[in-house]
Structure 1
């Protein structure tokens, strides 16, 4: 396969972009993380629901950006669901590029690896269970709440 731009948009890539696997928010997430590619503005958010024995029961993503960043996130979420935490952490950047398929330029590799980087952080980022009672289910951004200010 040549590294031309046409190869990037292979059928399976477009399938994941147009009909992504588990795109959206996961209300029952136990772990979550979000990051942005500062070079292009692509954003990926990953929600994970981990079982007590460390298995990824459910994985969801959301975000915005190019075909590569969004399709690779869909591929990764589908791949890691049902895996153990150790298996997800052992999944390498090279395996992510291989999973995506088409050969990418270094700049486009950053698009592909964004979801992989977010996943690696998400497994270490538990959703704050004790904060949920204080803010009635509203998003928590890590700073003081309005109630803390008064």
Structure 2
């Protein structure tokens, strides 16, 4: 833990966080004194409250980054799923038997509208294949 938090990159992060916190606090104090002066306004007082909020934001992210770096990395993937524990050796496969089913009102009858739709889908598939083949040939010819 010490070795990680005292590494050169973390020392730079600690210094940056401390400098930002000190700067934001100093700016807040300056805005408050400016707001309390005869030349100050309500806007200065509001800014005097805003700067410490920025400092708190830096503290939050600083602590969050330290926790993330100190936490052990999970390289094995998910251990829990929607239905309980997942065995690490079991690869995920979609369960095709579950989920919504297609509901039809009629039987296996196919109307002329369905035939027309099937023909249109076949036409679109042929256009896609033609464009994919043309793009592949362009890529091959362009690589020479």
Greater C-alpha Rg: 2
Give me the TM-score of the superposition, normalised by structure 1.
Answer: 0.24
Give me the TM-score of the superposition, normalised by structure 2.
Answer: 0.25
Higher strand fraction (1 or 2): 1
Higher helix fraction (1 or 2): 2
